[in-house]
Chains A and B, each alone.
Chain A
């Protein structure tokens, strides 16, 4: 098992964001930030990551909160998956978090791993990355040049690649609140219970007077980066959610995908799966709204 031990590194645990930024300003390119560690420890063990310095941010106060504000919800960099699984605040985003969280790892992984860490790792199959993309999240960074917020659609730059500079620290993620009454749905295909998503779809949809008034469609493992299926969304807005329309929108979403060819999932198969998953989500979201018309 010697092959599975990390290479040597130095360790520092800053007590504040400015302290962490000061460390990264000097040694950023040879450092990795440790939050939940549920991906970083794996990379360290496989030695796909060989940092000279690990910057443990777990001791920084104030980063573990979910703050519900007027137009948005702020998820601090140390908010664990398990916190989102238990989210009870009054907003469709809480339902979306509860719906998606059980697909992220296992309970012991969810106890430590963080939402912001998933976005920083940028695995193409990540459920949280698809959510961030679909909901138009902003990723908040602090670095030597100050603070900046990067919108999700320019955050993801490829497999495991983001807009984060080596000197910058992710401090949180801001998600705009969907309109009241919007209903979330999520569906995922995986080879075994413990596998990453082969493909996954996420829908948040609101009906007003029998027509689609607002809708977001997110896709995971549909390309090198998470996708928002904007053409599929456009097809539905203003229309009654008839089964034919939902099927057409689902097919459009799959056409927007650019899935890689893989031994267990040729591109055509994954597109087919994506269309099915999107249609299921749309159908469920529409039905839930009809069954609970007062759930605004």
Chain B
């Protein structure tokens, strides 16, 4: 039996009619057309489906859409400010932190959540690595992604443009 839920996605209110078995990821992709959220493994391992639920980065394949009742969801489509990319998106481009791009939305949302929780995450190398190890990238490896995280974190703190070596750019 279908369930009707109301939720906010990227600032817009939606009313959805979902089967209880529908995952949050499938509801976002198939019912709202937000296909920026990608599905890799569909069992919580790869992290490509990571979105923010009430500000916290979670696997949208491991949550039911019905559990998102009244929740505030943010997906990669909600990251940019109009035509202006988010600092994380700019940093990923600048640091070559993606190749095929399939995992990128998940990494962006993972970092958006982690940096909102702790804006100085990049200053603790071990903790940053622990966060990045949540998701899988099979193209570039993690060095570029880590550089992008460091660059974006500094920029988001208003420390201006710095290159990956930490010099003023």
Contacts and interface: CB of A to CB of B under 8 A. Distances in A.
Interface of A: 1, 4-11, 13, 34, 37-38, 41-42, 44-46, 54, 56, 58, 102, 105-109, 111-112, 193-194
Closest 7 CB pairs of A and B: A11-B20, A106-B134, A4-B42, A6-B21, A41-B62, A42-B43, A111-B56
Contacts of A58: 67
Given A107-B110, A109-B59, 13 more contacts: A1-B39, A1-B42, A37-B67, A38-B44, A41-B63, A45-B42, A56-B66, A56-B67, A107-B114, A107-B130, A109-B62, A112-B58, A112-B63
Interface of A is mostly: mixed
B104 interface: no
Contacts of A107: 57, 110, 114, 130-131, 134
B63 A11 contact: no
B21 A38 contact: no
Given A8-B21, A11-B3, A111-B56, A41 B64 contact: yes
Given A41-B61, A42-B62, A194-B133, A5 B45 contact: no
B62 A111 contact: no
B26 to A, nearest CB: 8
16 contacts: A7-B21, A37-B63, A38-B44, A38-B59, A41-B43, A41-B62, A44-B21, A45-B61, A106-B47, A106-B135, A108-B58, A108-B110, A109-B134, A111-B57, A112-B58, A112-B59
B50 interface: yes
B19 interface: yes
Contacts of A8: 19-21
Given A11-B20, A107-B131, A41 B44 contact: yes
A4 B21 CA distance: 11
B168 interface: no
Contacts of A6: 21
B1 interface: yes
B23 interface: yes
Contact of B62 (A11, A56, A112, A193): A112
Contacts of A41: 23, 43-44, 61-64
Contacts of B63: 37, 41, 112
Nearest to B20: A11
Interface in B40-88: 42-45, 47, 50, 56-59, 61-64, 66-67
Interface in B4-40: 19-21, 23, 26, 39
Given A41-B63, A107-B134, A9 B57 contact: no
A108 B57 contact: yes
A111 B47 CA distance: 13
Nearest to A80: B56
A264 B136 CA distance: 23
A9 B66 CA distance: 12
A13 B64 CA distance: 12
B8 to A, nearest CB: 18
A44 B66 CA distance: 15
Contacts of B58: 108, 111-112
Contacts of B42: 1, 4, 45
A9 B21 contact: yes
B52 to A, nearest CB: 10
Interface in B94-148: 110, 113-114, 130-131, 133-136
A194 B45 contact: yes
A58 B3 CA distance: 17
Nearest to B63: A37
A46 B42 CA distance: 10
Q: Select the residue from B20, B39, B135 with max chain A CB neighbours within 10 A.
A: B20
A51 to B, nearest CB: 10
